[in-house]
Structure 1
Amino acid sequence: SFISECLHCLVVKGPHRIPRPLGSAVHGAKPNQVVHVDFFDMGKPPRHASHNWRYILLLQDDLSKFCELIPAESATAEVMATAFVQWCTRYGSNSRFLLEV
């Protein structure tokens, strides 16, 4: 029973669908109440590129779906915190901050 429900064991067993617990989705009732944040890995930039941006940081307002895309050389908490502080400076502070992990 334990093995049949173990997430690590299910990954090793093969291409079966892995059951995951569903959580409740958090949504904003007004603009900037909930902001979603996530990094996307775009791969290594070409050698001839004038920048070293490998990642795109997405910040998105849940209600309006307004978003900002920020190029970044690394996907770190420091990059995310700096971008989020700039977001709050421009649009005001919010009450929830959601990270996609």
Structure 2
Amino acid sequence: MSGFDGDDGFSGFLGELLDNGHIDGDAAGITRQVIDKGEDSLSDKQKFVFKRDVLSLVPGECVRGCDIPWSEKYEAMDNGGFCSWCAKMKESADKDD
């Protein structure tokens, strides 16, 4: 899937949501448009649907307070909300116990 240039992994994250069945219906079409043309291409109604049905799935900060880069947000949805660094640190701490 082609990505919107300069998005720091945002379109890749959206692609993962689509590819793994997290988004369907109108939200899926809107998400494909964002990937291809960027958020600025959306109408106000599409922006509302995108925010409500897609961006609401996005983890914000890491559980430990770090920013999670777009390239790691999909994984953070599955690992309890950790960025990759904190997930690695937690895994190491768990092994030491």
Structure 1 length normalisation: TM-score? 0.24
Structure 2 length normalisation: TM-score? 0.25
Structure holding more helix per residue: 2
